[in-house]
């Protein structure tokens, strides 16, 4: 399949869909560089037309803050803005943006671009040599003969839309989620209603809930949906409150029974390792609060004491984070990174802690052989990944063999941390929506996600011509700009691979 370079690859995307830089840019999301709004920067040459009013721009920006919703186009955005703004103001501002962009393109064609603009344009796009870089610091240093190449790169950049400079921790529901503040579209509202209707019944149909959750869960109902899909809560609505109270009391009973033993001789090594690993968790801002650090220490220590076959293993600490963040959303409206979690009421923190412990325990019950002695589960999955990739993309497989790259050297972390170190947390949460909806999602479907994830970087892998370059790439894949759209495409390809290989394992065995 992959050896035929002329075939259209599954991952080949339309240029209009290519995500842009996470740097601050002025283009699709924001109007072009305007000296009235950026007085500290060197202004570009004046262009004809009326000067923009800052207040008009601020109103226009607030109305079009969701310009990156999947499926939106310019006409829909203008129609949406017209509901709250005078249509003449909207059209005038939009026309000014288009006119300015046309003038900039003409000046680019004629080479009449100032050094300030060239510098700004080069910083605002991750595409320098046609390859995506994770951050501006990774961009290659220019050479003496790069003047023509830089001009050509600027031409390429014009066709690439830029993602907004700030991507919330959990992406907006336009990609099957919401961060709360922007008004929901009709599609979002309809999807949320379906979840609410399903959850409002006396007995929730879990099979139907899984089908609905596979393509993402709205933020408002994600906490209860995760608890139901993980098996922590019963499908019967009348029993849920009593089960929650009983399980929360049971967890804090474990705290009273076991936590004081953390300084005992036979437990102190476990507790010391947990204490060292917590600052390495993702996201970093959670661990800066002492109350949150203590919560994670208790969860991990109690789990290790109650599972002596594996005990605590590095990597398990990461698996608490998505549950903790999702269950915090039950009590706050804003984003977690803008909120002091330790300021929540004590009862809320206790509930979040107990719920996170039990749901993490349910997850680990299905993949515990990943963390027992010698971690045989991970060894088997890495081997299966190697066999699968050798069948679906032989060029990539042979390229890594040629430069002596072992799958265990990079894929061990993918299995041990469930890709949490490779993806932003917002993407992990979206990924886990599907994992919880899939039968054996964390143990079985994850293999196909890893295969799809590796093949996703086919072009970049084949460009590397030595062991060091391949390892640096595979351990630092440029996913910081990723959102729900990229994760949805990844999951779709993983499902295609599962459909082809899951029930016929000999297909990927030689």
pLDDT 10s digits, 326-336: 999 999 877 77
Residue with the bigger pLDDT between 339 and 234: it is 234
Residues with Cβ within 8 Å of 355's Cβ and at least 6 positions away in sequence, in order, are 223, 227, 232, 244, 248, 323, 327
pLDDT surpasses 70 at 510: no
In this predicted structure, the answer to whether residue 488 has a pLDDT above a threshold of 60 is yes
What per-residue confidence (pLDDT) applies to 298?
96
Backbone angles phi, psi at 236, to 5 degrees: -75, 120
The radius of gyration of the chain's CA atoms, rounded to the nearest angstrom, is 25
Lowest mean per-residue pLDDT among 100-104, 150-154, 158-162: 158-162
Q: What is the pLDDT of residues 423-450, one digit of tens each?
A: 999 999 999 999 999 988 899 999 999 9
> What does the pLDDT read at residue 162?
39
Which pLDDT belongs to residue 509?
A: 56
- CA–CA separation, 502 and 58 (whole Å): 52
pLDDT score for 89: 55
Residue 156: name the closest of 134, 179, 125 by CA. Answer: 125
- Hey, what are 94's tokens? 């939009």
How high is the pLDDT of residue 287? 54
DSSP string, 159-198: TSPPPPS---SS--GGGT---SSSPPPHHHHHHHHHHHHH
Q: What is the arithmetic mean of pLDDT over 300-309? A: 94
Mean pLDDT of 331-348: 83
The average confidence (pLDDT) of the chain is 75
First to last CA, the chain: 16
d(CA 317, CA 366): 16
In the structure encoding, which two tokens stand for residue 281, read together? 């968790």
pLDDT value of residue 59:
56
What CATH superfamily classification does 374-502 receive? Ypt/Rab-GAP domain of gyp1p, domain 3 (1.10.472.80)
Using 50, 70 and 90 to split pLDDT, how confident is the model at 217? very high
Q: What is the pLDDT of residues 145-157, one digit of tens each?
A: 444 444 444 443 4
Picking from 374, 376, 386, the residue whose alpha carbon sits closest to that of residue 410 is: 386
Query: What is the share, in percent, of the chain residues with pLDDT greater than 70?
Result: 61
Instruction: Convert 146-180 to b/e letters by CB count within 10 Å (16 or more is b).
Output: eeeeeeebbeebeebbbbbeebbbbbbbbbbbbbb
pLDDT in tens, 31-62: 444 444 444 444 445 444 444 444 555 554 55
Q: How far apart are CA 302 and CA 276, in angstroms?
A: 16
In angstroms, rounded to a whole number, what is the distance separating the alpha carbons of residues 345 and 151? 56
Backbone φ and ψ of 163, nearest 5°: -75, 150
pLDDT at 254: 95
> For residues 314 and 300, is the Cβ–Cβ distance under 8 A?
no
Answer with the residue of higher pLDDT: 384 or 119: 384
Confidence of residue 289 (pLDDT cuts 50, 70, 90): confident
Under 8 Å between Cβ of 211 and 95: no
- Which of the four pLDDT bands, split at 50, 70 and 90, describes residue 342? confident
Average of per-residue pLDDT across 223-241: 96
pLDDT in tens, 471-485: 999 999 999 999 999
How many angstroms separate the Cα of 240 from the Cα of each of 55, 119, 244? 50, 58, 6
Go through 53-78 and write b for each residue having 16 or more CB atoms within 10 A of its CB, e for each that does not: eeebbebbeebbebbbbeeeeeeebb
Band (pLDDT 50/70/90 cuts) for residue 111 is low
For residue 481, what are its two tokens? 């700009």
Measured CA to CA, the distance from residue 378 to residue 383 in angstroms comes to 9
pTM: 0.66
Break the chain into its structural domains and give their ranges: 200-366, 374-502
| Whether residue 235 has pLDDT greater than 70 | yes
Q: Which residue has the tokens 């590796």?
A: 454
Average of per-residue pLDDT across 367-383: 93
Task: Take residue 139 and report the two structure tokens written for it.
Answer: 């961009």
Task: In whole angstroms, give the CA distance from residue 30 to residue 52.
Answer: 13
Indicate the helix (H) or strand (E) that contains 506: none
At residue 185, the pLDDT reads 85
């Amino acid at each position: 399949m992959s050896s035929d370079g002329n075939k259209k690859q599954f991952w080949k995307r339309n240029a209009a869909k290519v995500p842009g830089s996470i740097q601050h840019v002025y283009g699709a999301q924001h109007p072009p560089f305007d000296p009235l709004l950026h007085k500290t920067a060197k202004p570009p040459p004046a262009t004809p037309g009326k000067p923009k009013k800052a207040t008009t721009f601020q109103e226009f920006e607030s109305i079009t803050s969701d310009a990156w919703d999947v499926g939106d186009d310019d006409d829909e955005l203008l129609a949406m803005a017209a509901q709250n703004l005078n249509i003449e103001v909207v059209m005038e501002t939009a026309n000014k943006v288009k006119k300015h962009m046309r003038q900039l393109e003409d000046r680019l064609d004629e080479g009449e671009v100032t050094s300030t603009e060239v510098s700004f344009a080069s910083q605002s796009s991750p595409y320098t040599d046609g390859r995506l870089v994770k951050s501006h610091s990774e961009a290659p240093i220019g050479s003496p003969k790069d003047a023509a190449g830089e001009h050509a790169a600027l031409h390429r950049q014009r066709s690439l839309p830029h993602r907004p400079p700030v991507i919330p921790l959990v992406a907006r529901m336009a990609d099957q989620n919401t961060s709360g503040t922007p008004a929901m579209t009709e599609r979002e509202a309809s999807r949320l209603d379906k979840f609410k209707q399903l959850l409002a019944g006396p007995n929730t149909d879990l099979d139907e809930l899984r089908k609905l959750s596979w393509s993402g869960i709205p933020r408002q109902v994600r906490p209860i949906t995760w608890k139901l899909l993980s098996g922590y809560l019963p499908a019967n609505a009348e029993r849920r409150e009593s089960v929650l109270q009983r399980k929360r009391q049971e967890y804090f009973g474990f705290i009273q029974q076991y936590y004081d033993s953390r300084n005992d001789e036979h437990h102190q090594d476990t507790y010391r390792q947990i204490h060292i690993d917590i600052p390495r968790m993702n996201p970093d801002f959670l661990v800066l609060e002492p109350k949150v650090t203590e919560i994670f220490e208790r969860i991990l220590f109690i789990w290790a004491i109650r599972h002596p076959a594996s005990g605590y293993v590095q990597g398990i600490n990461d698996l608490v984070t998505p549950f903790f963040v999702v269950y915090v959303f039950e009590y706050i409206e804003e984003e977690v990174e803008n909120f002091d979690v330790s300021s929540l009421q004590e009862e809320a923190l206790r509930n979040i802690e107990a719920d996170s412990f039990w749901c993490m325990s349910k997850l680990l019950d299905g993949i515990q052989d990943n963390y027992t002695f010698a971690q045989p589960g991970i060894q088997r999955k890495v081997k299966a990944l190697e066999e699968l990739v050798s069948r679906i993309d032989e060029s990539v497989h042979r390229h890594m063999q040629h430069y002596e790259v072992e799958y265990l050297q990079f894929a061990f972390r993918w299995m041990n941390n469930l890709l949490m170190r490779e993806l932003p947390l917002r993407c992990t949460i979206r990924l886990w929506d599907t994992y919880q909806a899939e039968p054996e999602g964390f143990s079985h479907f994850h293999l196909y996600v890893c295969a799809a994830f590796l093949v996703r970087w086919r072009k970049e892998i084949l460009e590397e011509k030595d062991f060091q370059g391949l390892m640096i790439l595979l351990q630092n894949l440029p996913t910081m700009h990723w959102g729900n759209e990229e994760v949805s495409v990844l999951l779709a390809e993983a499902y295609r691979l599962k459909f082809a290989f899951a029930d016929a394992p000999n297909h990927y065995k030689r």
